[in-house]
Amino acid sequence: SDASGKHYFKDGKYFNDQWDIVDNILYIKNSSDAINVNGDCIVVSLYDQKLWLIRNNEILLETGIISGKLSTPTPTGHYSIQNMQSPSTLIGTTYRVYVDYWMPFIGNSYGIHDASWANPDDFSKPSTHYYWGSHGCININPDIMGYIYSNTYIGMDVVIY
């Protein structure tokens, strides 16, 4: 295995070299974390700039993301989807942007949403957030966000490490 977040087959099931989900429990490698996610969750690696969508202990999707820049980092931890809105206008002190899909996981401040203003190629580069990062949200390629939205629900676990 390597640090790229690749998937492997083991006993007929996919697993990731950084985390594993077994019998509804998410285990983060090199951590004592064992989180009961009832088999459904969104896992985000800030180091790899990747998001995985998990339903019924199976990986439905792996995709690149753009997370918060150094001055406005994405918080790490265990959260849950608080609300789902489509469409929505995100309003901050220095911005007002329209998004097709908004899924906040900390109040209405931090969430997962599409980012139509980003270059599609930037979602596959682990360094994009250093120079073109978000205000702390998880930005997703608009071509993929609808699929994530339709396979997510209020209360679904979000684990960011």
124-154 residue pLDDT tens = 898 999 989 999 999 999 999 999 999 999 9
Q: How confident is the model at residue 16 (pLDDT cuts 50, 70, 90)?
A: confident
Going from N- to C-terminal start, the domains of the chain cover: 11-160
Q: Which residues, including other chains, have CB under 8 Å from residue 121's CB and lie 6 or more apart?
A: none
pLDDT at 36: 92
Alpha carbon distance 19, 30 (integer Å):
9
H or E stretch at 63: strand 58-64
Q: Quick one: fold of 11-160?
A: L,D-transpeptidase catalytic domain-like (2.40.440)
Tell me which residue of 157, 16, 148, 21 sits closest to 86, measured CA to CA.
148
Hunting for tokens 């396979």 — which residue is that? 151
Instruction: Enter the tokens of residue 140.
Output: 């997703």
The answer to whether 42 and 53 are in contact (CB under 8 A) is yes
pLDDT at 4: 43
What's the pTM value of the predicted model, to 2 decimals?
0.88
